[in-house]
């Protein structure tokens, strides 16, 4: 391996860490919600979650996972635009979902995730 293949731009690493942190915030909220609500966490508006609901949640959770990998392995230009679009998409999805969270921990975590999304979008733009 050449030195170029081994070295990593600090900005790439920082952005990958932002995406991992965002994913962990989402997972923390989901785990705490399960402790708070138990089986009631599997209901949306009083109706059981369907396979479609679960698939959509899984796809949304994959965004930060794939972008963490993308920041490290994709060409800079593609990774940059994917990161900006991913940040904005998750920001929009979460801003519309804020009202649906009743727990204080949920609201705190969603505000932190929104701030991290905004920071990640700006940091990616500046890359």
DSSP-derived secondary structure for 48-73: EPPHHHHHHHHHHHHHHHHHHHHHHH
Query: Does some domain include residue 27?
Result: yes
pLDDT, one tens digit per residue, over 16-54 is 999 999 999 988 888 887 777 677 666 776 787 788 888
pLDDT on residue 47: 80
Higher per-residue pLDDT: 62 or 3:
62
State how far the alpha carbon of 81 is from the alpha carbons of 5, 66, 107, 121, in Å: 22, 13, 28, 9
**Number of compact structural domains in the chain:** 1
Q: Are the CB atoms for 16 and 68 separated by under 8 Å?
A: yes
Q: Is the pLDDT confidence value at 118 over 70?
A: yes
Query: Does some domain include residue 1?
Result: no
Q: Tell me which H or E stretch contains 44.
A: strand 43-44
Q: Is the pLDDT confidence value at 126 over 90?
A: yes
Query: Does some domain include residue 2?
Result: no
pTM of the model: 0.80
Q: How far is CA 45 from the centre of its chain?
A: 23
pLDDT on residue 6: 46
Q: Are the CB atoms for 90 and 63 separated by under 8 Å?
A: yes
pLDDT, one tens digit per residue, over 59-74 is 999 999 999 999 999 9
pLDDT on residue 65: 95
Query: Does some domain include residue 38?
Result: yes
Q: Which domain holds residue 56?
A: 9-125
State how far the alpha carbon of 124 is from the alpha carbons of 68, 88, 116, in Å: 12, 11, 12
Which of 42-56, 72-86, 106-120 has the weakest average pLDDT? 42-56
Higher per-residue pLDDT: 31 or 4:
31
State how far the alpha carbon of 70 is from the alpha carbons of 20, 33, 52, 53, 117, in Å: 12, 29, 26, 26, 16
Query: Does some domain include residue 36?
Result: yes
């Amino acid at each position: 391996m050449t030195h170029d293949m081994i070295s990593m731009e600090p900005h790439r690493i920082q952005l990958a860490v932002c995406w991992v942190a965002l994913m962990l915030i989402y997972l923390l909220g989901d785990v705490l919600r399960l402790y708070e609500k138990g089986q009631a966490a599997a209901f949306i508006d009083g109706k059981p979650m369907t396979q479609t609901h679960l698939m959509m949640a899984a796809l949304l959770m994959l965004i930060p996972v794939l972008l963490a990998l993308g920041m490290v392995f994709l060409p800079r230009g593609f990774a940059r635009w994917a990161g900006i679009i991913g940040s904005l998409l998750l920001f929009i999805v979460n801003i519309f979902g804020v009202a649906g969270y009743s727990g204080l921990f949920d609201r705190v975590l969603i505000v932190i995730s929104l701030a991290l999304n905004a920071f990640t979008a700006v940091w990616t733009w500046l890359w």
